[in-house]
Amino acid sequence: MTIANDVRQAPTLPGPRYPKTERQAEIMTLAEELSAIAAENAPAHDHDGTFPFDTFEAISKTPYLALTVPEEFGGGGAGPLDVMLAQEILARGDGSVALVASMHLGHVAGIAVNAQWPPDLKERFFREIVERGALYNTAASEPGLGSPSRGGHYATRAVRDSSGGWRIAGRKAWGTGSPALTWAGVGASVEEESGELVRASFLVPMDAPDVSIEETWDNMAMSASGSHDIVLNDVVVPADHRLPAAGKPEGGPWSILTSATYLGIGVAARNWAIAFAKGRRPTALGGKAIAELEGVQARIAQMELLLLEARSVLYGTVEMWKQQPELQDELGAQFAAAKVIVTNNAIAVTDQAMRIVGSVGLQRKNPLERYFRDVRAGLGNPPLDDVAMGIVARNALK
């Protein structure tokens, strides 16, 4: 039995209905077109662990990667709600592609609001995205350090060069999208004139001769995301490539942009399982579809409840942030809660989908087993569950 993967033929999703504006309709339509391309290319890249250059070539020919570039630089100037809606759709085609895009779009949004970036560098950076579909991500995690969100100093070091620039040496882990990145925002330790060791970030061109990628990525989930190690062997960058602190608001919607990716994977699993249940007619049931069985209907209902909660919490919180700016400083705990709810509900949806489909869901020729694996990567994206739960608890205990 062949199951269609066209998201436009799937049952209406529970929760908030979009698009609500013409702008959202345009962005979501573009995301659907790219999601279809991503879905076609995804099985081979997932199986081989190869980076989806073909998909990103198609994406780079559209305005998608410039969605969060300010309009004054030729970008889309899109806000977090519109980007999340697009990312949910893109992830239904390929979670790895959507994860790379999430990292890029979220960081670019942060740069857009960061007034401390050198103006000439910022303009050049945005123009490359708009005109060439350039791709950006940060490179902060390290094999010894783990996630920088936990604190600690980088083993990667940056020192002043005789030319007045910076010389950077070290190894970065979890370099998502590394094979296709135009630049990386590399985290490094710097010894200030006072002798204090501080964490800093530097804009590094990925085509610099002393930058290399060591293909270490061999992962159960997001196997096509190209999250390899990035090795910097005394890379020299200009003085103005030392970047200011990130402009992305702490605890705001951009900080949980990846949640939309995992939500989209959960939706894809739900769509595939429902299509399977409607089309699977074993002889033991006399031609009836398994969708008519009460046990299967109970699992479908459970998926709907999980997605209703996840989509309502995520998009409802983002809309509150947008429509009631006076509350923005108070919503950090709610965004942390939304990340926990969305990620864990998406995982639970894929579990229910697998139980509906049975052993067929484990076959590599079907996408459900990829959804089942990929969605679990959300547990490793910040804020991690324990960190987020701590934020929620401390907010309640004020």
User: 288 and 381 in one domain?
Assistant: yes
DSSP H helices, 53-118, are 53-60, 80-93, 95-112
Per residue in 275-326, pLDDT tens?
Answer: 999 999 999 999 999 999 999 999 999 999 999 999 999 999 999 999 999 9
Count of structural domains within the chain: 3
User: 375 and 293 in one domain?
Assistant: yes
Which has the closest alpha carbon to 166: 114, 140, 137, 204?
A: 204
User: 123 and 208 in one domain?
Assistant: no
For 315-371, give the DSSP string. HHHHHHHHH-GGGGGG-HHHHHHHHHHHHHHHHHHHHHHHHHHGGGGG-TTSTHHHH
pLDDT of residue 5 exceeding 80, the answer is no
Which has the closest alpha carbon to 313: 290, 334, 292, 283?
A: 334
Average pLDDT over residues 372-378: 98
User: 364 and 331 in one domain?
Assistant: yes
In a domain, 283, yes or no: yes
In a domain, 7, yes or no: no
CB 204 within 8 A of CB 168: yes
In a domain, 77, yes or no: yes
CB 265 within 8 A of CB 273: no
User: 199 and 65 in one domain?
Assistant: no
User: 114 and 192 in one domain?
Assistant: no
**Residue finishing a domain among 88, 106, 134:** 134
In a domain, 53, yes or no: yes
Average pLDDT over residues 114-128: 95
CB 62 within 8 A of CB 30: yes
The answer to whether the peptide bond before residue 19 is cis (omega within 30 degrees of 0) is yes
DSSP H helices, the chain, are 22-48, 53-60, 80-93, 95-112, 119-132, 258-279, 294-323, 332-357, 368-374, 385-396
Average pLDDT over residues 85-96: 98
Give the separation between CA 337 and CA 395, rounded to whole angstroms. Answer: 11
pLDDT of residue 196 exceeding 50, the answer is yes
Six-digit token string for 42: 């995804």
Phi/psi for 304 (5° steps) reads: -65, -40
**Angle formed by the axes of helices 53-60 and 95-112, nearest 10°:** 40
Output the CA torsion sign for 351, 146, 222, 18: positive
In a domain, 51, yes or no: yes
Which has the closest alpha carbon to 180: 217, 207, 204?
A: 207
User: 385 and 283 in one domain?
Assistant: yes
What lies within 8 Å, CB to CB, of 26 at 6+ separation is none
Average pLDDT, the chain: 94
**Residue finishing a domain among 95, 117, 134:** 134
Average pLDDT over residues 29-56: 98
**Residue finishing a domain among 243, 277, 302:** 243
3-state secondary structure at position 103: helix
Per-residue pLDDT band for 246 (boundaries 50, 70, 90) equals: low
User: 201 and 183 in one domain?
Assistant: yes
User: 239 and 148 in one domain?
Assistant: yes
In a domain, 1, yes or no: no
In a domain, 264, yes or no: yes
Average pLDDT over residues 194-219: 95
Cα 251 off chain centre by: 16
User: 130 and 239 in one domain?
Assistant: no
CATH number at residue 372: 1.20.140.10
Output the CA torsion sign for 338, 341, 344, 349: negative
| Domain span including residue 220 | 138-243
User: 273 and 361 in one domain?
Assistant: yes
**Angle formed by the axes of helices 294-323 and 80-93, nearest 10°:** 150
User: 269 and 178 in one domain?
Assistant: no
In a domain, 197, yes or no: yes
Per-residue pLDDT band for 210 (boundaries 50, 70, 90) equals: very high
CATH number at residue 222: 2.40.110.10
